[in-house]
Amino acid sequence: MEEERKPKVQFNTTGPDEKKPRLKMGSFGSASSAAIMEGIQAGNINISDAPMVELDSQSTNRNNELMAELDRRKKIKSVVVPVDDLEVKTALRAHGQPACLFGERPADRRERLRQLLAALVEAGVKVDKKIEQAVAPVEEKIDESSIWYHEGSQELYIARYWIAEYSLPRARTRIAKQKEEEAKPPAEKAARLQELHKRLRVVTNSCSQVGDDRPISFCHFSPNSEMLATGSWSGLCKLWTVPDCEPIRVLRGHNDRVGAIVFHPQATLGLSETSLGLASCAADGSVYLWNLTSDTPIAELEGHSQRVSRLAYHPSGRFLGTACFDNSWRLWDLGTCGEVLHQEGHSRPVYNIAFHVDGSIVATSAMDGCGRLWDLRSGKCILLMDGHLSGVLGVDFSPNGVHLATGGDDHLVKVWDLRKAKCVYTIPAHTNLVSHLKYQVTDGNYLITASYDNTAKIWTHPGWAPIRTLAGHESKVMAVDISSNQQYIATASYDRTFKLWTSDES
């Protein structure tokens, strides 16, 4: 039984003689040698007469090359490379390399630096200390506008703390509402969506108005859905009645193209007419604040030196966000009319800005083809939305709090899931650039996109199937909005008109 349990081990000899195998027994010791010989005699250890094959010089060289390549890859992985793109560029410059190659993404640039540093490591150069010495003095010479994060003020700390206390209860309320909605019978939800889609399929133009003698660049409904504000390239902003489209007031103050005009979240609801009711921005960098009784601005937010393309109110109404062509966006405290945050991060002009329904996150889109999500409570960029082939012009959060839509110069609309931190759907929406987009303001059950192909389109959510194309403008559609009562859709166009769209069944 003991002999059966002994493992059978096969040894190769270097000669053909079976009776005298060439085994070096001395290295095993006398006891081990005797045990091995007994195993051979019992047949449990087989001795083969197969000759050993010696590797030729070519195979040896190939093996050495593979081992050297493996060692080189290990060295590359062990190299510490900066994560911040600015530090990567600085390190490349310090080593005599171009900071950026044509079409190179930050990840590609970081890998290029890793390869360079690995070559230096292989040459015996200590690169970690070299990077530290190279980056530090160069950062002192970098223009302030290229730095992403600044040291915050006490006002910024107070604002972040306030936003955190404001957003957390709203998030709890939103999630509780969504759970109640999920608990409803699927048939009931399907019937409600079917009725909504049926109404959207018969949306028609109910009113068309010449708004100015220059292109109408923006439109926005008041919170009570009874007024519409428009901005024009003439520098004028105007208020109109809904649904008659009769002029109410002309707001004079801007001397250049108006980028956007938006209502305060509580204007026309509970806010006094003499209080801050609207905000507007223009290409000359001016940002004005208005009330609902005067045709001149009641305050100005000073600090922008370049074009301000879009602006948006924080859901609380306390803060205002502005997107500027100096590659930055800013957060303003309307209580003091002071700037509390000046944030860089994009490599090209920032075109649009939107706040999350909870008020905790802000999204910015830029001409660099990227969108970014910023946590207002910590100041960090929490998501880079890199997917468009060119400038991103439109951005909007869904009221469900988990989806975000972006529209770009590449004619595409991308839908992002914040939970998965990635794009979940791409809509080939238009035949020209997507200038603006807007979610349904209550549930986000549909999305409207505006384009330079002279149309606006309505898309289902989820599913992203086209429901209706709003055609009627003679030139490119610059902006779109949905009234809070869901009765009207407004479109503003380069043809100097704005239109109201509604359903006969509403």
pTM: 0.70
C-alpha angle 358-364-368 in degrees, rounded to nearest 5: 160
Q: How many alpha carbons lie under 13 Å from residue 51 in its C-beta half-sphere?
A: 5
Q: Give one word for 412, left, alpha or beta, with left for phi > 0 and alpha for psi -120 to 50.
A: beta
pLDDT on residue 49: 61
pLDDT on residue 47: 63
Is residue 442 within 8 Å of 421, Cβ to Cβ? no
| Cα–Cα distance, 60 to 67 (Å, whole number) | 11
Contacts of 302 (CB under 8 A, 6+ apart): none
Question: How does pLDDT run across 37-56, given as a tens digit for each residue?
Answer: 777 777 676 666 656 656 56
| Cα–Cα distance, 492 to 220 (Å, whole number) | 10
Residue type at position 341: L
Exposure string of 169-183, with b = 16+ CB inside 10 Å and e = fewer, is ebeeebeeeeeeeee
pLDDT on residue 27: 46
pLDDT on residue 81: 73
Contacts of 297 (CB under 8 A, 6+ apart): 251, 253, 288, 289, 290
Instruction: Give the residue among 400, 383, 491, 478 at the shortest CA–CA distance from 439.
Output: 400
Distances in Å between the alpha carbon of 306 and those of 293, 297, 399? Answer: 29, 20, 32
- Strand segments, DSSP code E, in 54-169 are none
pLDDT on residue 150: 59
| Cα–Cα distance, 259 to 437 (Å, whole number) | 15
Residues of the chain scoring pLDDT < 70: 1-32, 43, 45-57, 72-80, 83, 102-103, 124-151, 505-506
| Cα–Cα distance, 179 to 175 (Å, whole number) | 6
Q: Which two tokens stand for residue 191?
A: 């019937």
CA-CA-CA-CA torsion sign (141, 144, 145, 150): positive
Question: How does pLDDT run across 7-34, given as a tens digit for each residue?
Answer: 444 444 444 444 444 444 444 455 667 7
